Amino acid sequence: QVQLVQSGAEVKKPGASVKVSCKASGYTFTSYGISWVRQAPGQGLEWMGWISAYNGNTNYAQKLQGRVTMTTDTSTSTAYMELRSLRSDDTAVYYCARASGWNYNWFDPWGQGTLVTVSS
Amino acid sequence: QSALTQPPSASGSPGQSVTISCTGTSSDVGGYNYVSWYQQHPGKAPKLMIYEVSKRPSGVPDRFSGSKSGNTASLTVSGLQAEDEADYYCSSYAGSNNFFYVFGTGTKVTVL
């Protein structure tokens, strides 16, 4: 079955970087995109961006431009999301999701989530 | 880009129907037929329930349906069941300038 498995929880200090991985299985990795979505504690969902696993093209949310980089390793069917210059308000659960349709407009399935805690 | 507006809560008794609205603008919901809906149980990852306004993925019960009128999209859950109690989020494509997406504020559905 289609499955996305993410790396484990991280604790980082303000100003550091974090890199979350998302390993896909059960489908042809390069036929879809990967979107990243985060959810701060008790808050709603926030779209961060997507990457085409076919050609590596990316689109990032404007507010994260310059701090986020999304990449893929097609040899291992793994996507990565790196967020730099971490702040306390980056504390959230980070989800990857397979992105489908025109301009990758729907997300299914989702990974289990990775909690990133930013604290001094 | 502001989040799409959803009511904070909705409720219904088992067997009844509940409809959740998702209001945006002509730059997102009203401008494109790329609205999707996600169900999230506490502590779990979201699950796709509806995509491209009204299409239902395989495995999602036909009790779930989606529609759109103008700048407002709606998700209707008919024949409410206990397992439908969850948070629901809409999402919409939000324009070609940045090819980005915006989520709704979320609605907590309670089965009475």
* A62 C-beta neighbours (distance < 10 Å), count: 10
State the pLDDT at residue B2. 82
The Cα B90–Cα A102 span in angstroms is 17
Query: Edge to edge, what strands does the sheet with A18-25 contain?
Result: A3-6, A18-25, A78-83, A68-73
- Judge whether residue A20 has pLDDT over 90: yes
Query: Is A103 within 8 Å of B89 when comparing Cβ atoms?
Result: no
Check CB contact of A110 with chain B, cutoff 8 Å. Answer: yes
The Cα B86–Cα B69 span in angstroms is 24
Which residues are paired to A97 by β-bridges? Answer: A35, A110
A44-94 pLDDT tens trace: 999 999 999 999 999 999 899 999 999 999 999 999 999 999 999 999 999
Q: Is A102 exposed, middle or buried (0-12, 13-18, 19+ CB in 10 A)?
A: exposed
Could you tell me the CA-to-CA distances from A5 to A74, A85, B81 in Å, in that order?
Answer: 15, 25, 29
Q: Give how far A26 is from chain B: nearest CA, Å.
A: 16
Which residue of chain A is at minimal alpha-carbon distance from B42?
A42
Nearest to A101 among B51, B100, B106 (CB): B51
Q: Assign A102 a pLDDT band (cuts: 50, 70, 90).
A: confident
Please list every residue in chain B whose beta carbon sits closer than 8 Å to the beta carbon of residue A62.
Answer: 1, 98, 100
Please list every residue in chain B whose beta carbon sits closer than 8 Å to the beta carbon of residue A105.
Answer: 34, 36, 51-52, 93, 101
A1-11 pLDDT tens trace: 999 999 999 99
- Judge whether residue B105 has pLDDT over 80: yes
First to last CA, chain A: 40
Query: Is B51 within 8 Å of A95 when comparing Cβ atoms?
Result: no
The Cα B72–Cα B85 span in angstroms is 23
The residue among B76, B60, B68, B6 whose CA lies nearest residue B33 is: B68
Nearest to B89 among A44, A108, A109 (CB): A44
State the pLDDT at residue B95. 80
Q: Assign B73 a pLDDT band (cuts: 50, 70, 90).
A: very high
